[in-house]
Structure 1
């Protein structure tokens, strides 16, 4: 038999046609139809109150046609840039070779209530459309990233009456980028975790250390510690996301001095081994992003001190860091698109004591899975569990 040469796209359609024929039989009851395409938000389905643009990622067989229609939110969202008159509510296209995206533009939300746009997206041959929603928060509110398809560093949120969540954004160039996210415990007046990406885009700059201490504007000041002066006794105002991790702009660095980012940390831990651990984590920076979660753990609340305003606050019994990055550091891929063999993680579990002015010891190294068990939080939810169960201090230059 002579095999004729066809372009790859033609071979793809021939294969799809053969599969379609093979599925048409009297015994096909219960078979699931093959969807012609998929559409999803490229990053997240929640956006800030500022005007901007969200991106839909489209995939499917080359040549498949599609139609997108805004069915709710037509007065503030559009497929046409700067046209919110209703002319840009419907658009058609077809899947082409390479990356396929569709932009949805939206105006600023100046209201005190959030709002939702609904997009109906249909591929030719489908009976039911895909329905996607874009949620825009009210002015002054923060965006809570999605668990699935959101930021890689965000732990899964836990429901607790004392927990409040927020994400801080900053301007970097002409873009709004996330600075860090946190889970704040009102009862303990401290963040239980602070999650953030680490990349040269955040560390390269001459912002320096602004030392502009202030309340976090996203939380009520009444349940934050008052730290215009430091904690009483031998405790520093210990950053969870370090000032040195955010040097690109003054705004970026200023947000690390919010009181929500502080805990009462022994000065001989903060300025010695913990500070050296922060320095070492910065050396793990790579072309791909390093993802970091730093947290405070309270095994009990019997040890207390006073904040700068004279308010009683509990002292953490432990601190931790969990890290995730690609092994090569230059895959150019999202970690959620990587195989387990392409990723590595490590955890650091630190007792709240003085270790001396030493480099981080091997004894504080553990797996991310172990810290999940200790804290009850689920870290890096988009990667395989096996990656979180394994760690090798040598791979992270810990001797």
Structure 2
């Protein structure tokens, strides 16, 4: 596996790493490298952003031990840094595998306006592996933000970056504009009660049993680039308290119309169910180095 080092994106709150197998154990811990807890912006970049290693394409390979500031990637996956978020791009599905961002009172406040933003391709992605606006045209689905535009009002450039199609996944328009929007608003409201709020969001492609009794993963694709339409979306919210404890709240919503009156608590799921599907493990082995901190599983 290759390594990419990010000098300006300092891991301080938590880490997410990838699992090759299944049966992941729920662990959550805070690994501090910035002792003063500063969450201010510096040069347009977040100073406290988790870095997420990605699984190897070789199922038999071992996971590279975590090192501060390190991202391990496979040959087909790119980790990209933008003004306000970090994403791992999945070239096969033409959408992100995950996006992670930090929310604060500063990031969600400002004069930025989405009317000045346009959805656009990222030239850093090979033309074979990109989605385009044409793929979405007439599809009947929304270009759903993973890192929400409203999370990044602090900078017009930051908000504009959320309109890269790398940060977009085909989303049922009713879901995008109602229940999912409510979840995004709820995440923003949490900054009033926690020292740090990190949000990791991504698509899921979950199997279901067909009439023949077998399990299949089936999903629609859009346009000539065959942009994958997820069956579900996940959002993992990592909440750091002033004393260092961490709460982990994990949500899954189906990519279909969802009654916005259903309480968000109904979509809470065990973190293991999210870890198994995309091959992610949240904060493994950090407890060994941060014995003073404990993992907390959030309730409804």
Match of 2:190 among 271, 279, 284: 284
Structure-2 residue corresponding to 1:65:
none
Distance 2:86 2:158 in 1: 13
Distance 2:110 2:167 in 1: 21
Q: Contact (CA 8 Å) 2:135, 2:222: kept in 1 or not? A: no
Match of 2:219 among 303, 327, 347: 303
Q: Contact (CA 8 Å) 1:238, 1:264: kept in 2 or not? A: yes
Residues 1:268 and 2:184 aligned together: no
Structure-2 residue corresponding to 1:350:
253
* C-alpha RMSD of the superposition: 3.1
Q: Contact (CA 8 Å) 2:246, 2:296: kept in 1 or not? A: no
Q: Contact (CA 8 Å) 2:247, 2:296: kept in 1 or not? A: no
Q: Secondary structure at the match of 1:201?
A: coil
Superposed displacement of residue 233, structure 1: 2.9
Distance 2:279 2:267 in 1: 19
- Pick 1 or 2: higher relative contact order, CA cutoff 8 A, min separation 6: 2
Match of 1:203 among 108, 114, 117: 108
Match of 2:269 among 356, 366, 386: 366
Superposed displacement of residue 345, structure 1: 1.1
Structure-2 residue corresponding to 1:192:
97
Distance 2:76 2:101 in 1: 22
Partner deviation per Cα, 1:297-316 (whole Å, 9 max, x = no partner) = 12366322424xx4322211
Residues 1:157 and 2:73 aligned together: no
TM-score norm. by structure 1 comes to 0.52
Structure-2 residue corresponding to 1:247:
153
285-294 or 242-251: bigger deviation: 285-294
Structure-2 residue corresponding to 1:320:
234
Distance 1:192 1:357 in 2: 26
Q: Secondary structure at the match of 1:241?
A: coil
Partner deviation per Cα, 1:275-326 (whole Å, 9 max, x = no partner) = 111111110114622011001012366322424xx43222111100111112
Q: Secondary structure at the match of 1:283?
A: helix
Q: Contact (CA 8 Å) 1:191, 1:260: kept in 2 or not? A: yes
Distance 1:373 1:352 in 2: 19
Distance 1:188 1:374 in 2: 15
TM-score norm. by structure 2 comes to 0.68
Residues 1:212 and 2:118 aligned together: yes
Distance 1:388 1:372 in 2: 16
Distance 2:136 2:277 in 1: 29
Q: Secondary structure at the match of 2:178?
A: helix
Distance 2:88 2:240 in 1: 25
Superposed displacement of residue 229, structure 1: 7.2
Equivalent residues in 2 for 1:13-28 (5 A)?
A: none
Q: How many residues in Structure 1 have an aligned counterpart in Structure 2? A: 231
Superposed displacement of residue 388, structure 1: 5.9
Distance 1:382 1:197 in 2: 22
Superposed displacement of residue 245, structure 1: 0.4
Distance change (3 Å), C-alpha of 1:239 and 1:268? same
Distance 1:247 1:322 in 2: 21
Unaligned runs of 5+ residues in structure 2 are 11-34, 36-44, 58-74, 208-216
